[in-house]
Structure 1
Amino acid sequence: MGITAITGAMALAFAAIHIFVGRLHFLSVTPRSRWLSFAGGVAVGYIFLHVLPELAAHQREFAEEMGVDRITAESVVYSLALAGLATFYGLERLVQRGGEAGDAKRMQRHVLYLHTVSYGALNLLIGYLLLQGEEEGAWGLALYFTAMSLHFVTADFGMREDNRAAYDRIGRWIITACVIAGWLLGLVLDLSKTLIGCLFAFLAGGIVLNVLKEELPEERQSAFLPFLFGTLLYAALVIAERHGV
């Protein structure tokens, strides 16, 4: 089976998560489902043990293509990661304030649509990186797919909790279309490695924020040990992949 067919199947699996996450009833418990905490740990492990080291490894390449020194290139790349975190945090605060405003229904609806579009853009990038990302070989692609799948479970569950009706009616279809469109773009659009790296950096910040906002609030009653286990397990898989185990 060729890489196009494999990544196409992965894109469809991503789409299935978006569409059917509401049927995973075992996640809707308090204290927070240990599976969600485990998924969050895997996603964080992916960012810190895979994405950020890859960005550091390409500093010289970034510097040459940008026409700047390596320190400046490093600052630009990590600033993009910070920008991704800040952008998605700002959107999250808008969603929360929408529910507290006097004209709550109208404002919340508009802000939730903005939130859906922004999350859709993140999905577009994730779908694109299935074919055009930094992953090399079956192991790397499998680790990317696993981490992003679990991230989608965590993020979609939280998004659906914010407004179940809006998510079920239109939100899930928008983000599903985006991840499929991203994969299709990967078939026809070949961006430079530097631009892909910059997009990857922004994606890293967004994922860190999305995971931590689901794990940290006290009312979630998150489970630390499953979160830690997910992080350590993913770390072990990354180390095994890099050493050819």
Structure 2
Amino acid sequence: MTIGALLTGLFFIFIHFMTNKILPTERLMQLRWFSFSGGLAVSYVFVYVLPALHTEQQNIALDLTLFAMQSEIYFIGLIGVIMFYGSQLYVRQRAHDNELTFWTQILFYTTYNALVAYVVISAQVSVLQALFYSAAIGLHFIAVAHDMWREFAEKYNTVGRYMLALGILIGWGLGVFVEFTALVQSIIFAFISGAMILNVFKYELPEDKYAHFPTFASGVIMYTAITLSLKFFFEW
């Protein structure tokens, strides 16, 4: 196990147990926090996820001549969007059944956490890279965990956070001890990227009346500038 994988896994688990301690309690500061984290997440999508999808598509096109449309990986990402959006609609349309809603949400996000953790931890990056990319994913996890806590505070504290942390542990274990083929890794990355892109743009950005654009823009500019600089100087 690399140090980067160890620190990344511990960081993700820490987030799910300490989300409500990390977030500011004052309403205005909390809204600005979500605007800032939304900016980081949007930047992460454009400067890392989309270019990485393009690279994965090129790699499988070179390895497997059956893939000829130059869009197979994006199709897998679209499946991720459909499944994530469908599950969210299912939950919201049955909001009157709190027990069903909670378990549907928690099981979905446990699986989601496992796949995201696997993708990040199996990337075999340096400690600095792991910490830097984990920052954007970590803020994304904070937004997800906070939404769960806001809707089901008691159940989240007693069961939910442990389930979400278990998902991280499962993905952590897969990333460290299981080696999938390059094609399977590409499929997992594309699927979870589609789900993440939808989650960022539809559920993670604050509503217009709660958004603080200067804070959002500062998050985008800061993360993009640092990422592009590191790519340029260290060839990330």
Out of 207, 210, 219, the position equivalent to 2:196 is: 207
Say whether 1:147 aligns with 2:136: yes
How far, CA to CA, are the matches of 1:202 and 1:27 in structure 2? 34
Classify 1:164/1:224 alpha carbon distance in 2 versus 1 (closer, same or farther; 3 Å): same
SS at match of 2:180: coil
Per-residue CA deviation, residues 68-107 of structure 1 (Å, 9 max, x unaligned), is 244x2x32211222222222222222222222xxxx2xx3
Q: Is the Cα–Cα contact under 8 Å of residues 41 and 200 in structure 2 kept in the other structure?
A: yes
Moved more, 231-240 or 122-131: 122-131
Give 1:112's aligned residue.
102
Per-residue CA deviation, residues 180-238 of structure 1 (Å, 9 max, x unaligned), is 1211122221012222222112222222222231325356x122222222122111122
Specify every segment of 5 or more residues in structure 1 that has no aligned partner in the other structure, as ranges.
none
Amino acid at match of 1:193: A
Q: Is the Cα–Cα contact under 8 Å of residues 113 and 171 in structure 2 kept in the other structure?
A: yes
Give 2:114's aligned residue.
124
Q: Is the Cα–Cα contact under 8 Å of residues 8 and 121 in structure 2 kept in the other structure?
A: no
SS at match of 1:81: helix
Specify every segment of 5 or more residues in structure 2 that has no aligned partner in the other structure, as ranges.
none
Per-residue CA deviation, residues 35-58 of structure 1 (Å, 9 max, x unaligned), is 121112112211221121122123
Normalization by structure 2: what TM-score?
0.88
Q: Is the Cα–Cα contact under 8 Å of residues 128 and 186 in structure 1 kept in the other structure?
A: yes
Shift of 1:110: 1.2
Say whether 1:94 aligns with 2:83: no
Q: Is the Cα–Cα contact under 8 Å of residues 115 and 188 in structure 2 kept in the other structure?
A: yes
Classify 1:226/1:241 alpha carbon distance in 2 versus 1 (closer, same or farther; 3 Å): same
Say whether 1:177 aligns with 2:166: yes
Normalization by structure 1: what TM-score?
0.85
Give 2:152's aligned residue.
163
How far, CA to CA, are the matches of 2:63 and 2:193 in structure 1? 21
How far, CA to CA, are the matches of 1:160 and 1:66 in structure 2? 44
Give 1:235's aligned residue.
224
SS at match of 2:2: helix
Q: Is the Cα–Cα contact under 8 Å of residues 34 and 143 in structure 2 kept in the other structure?
A: yes
Q: Is the Cα–Cα contact under 8 Å of residues 27 and 33 in structure 1 kept in the other structure?
A: no
Shift of 1:25: 5.1
How far, CA to CA, are the matches of 1:218 and 1:164 in structure 2? 25
Classify 1:204/1:30 alpha carbon distance in 2 versus 1 (closer, same or farther; 3 Å): same
Structure 1 segment 5-84 matched on structure 2, within 5 A: 5-24=3-22, 26=24, 29=27, 33-70=31-68, 72=69, 74-84=70-80
Aligned length: 233
How far, CA to CA, are the matches of 1:238 and 1:130 in structure 2? 16
How far, CA to CA, are the matches of 2:25 and 2:54 in structure 1? 36
Percent identity, aligned pairs only? 25
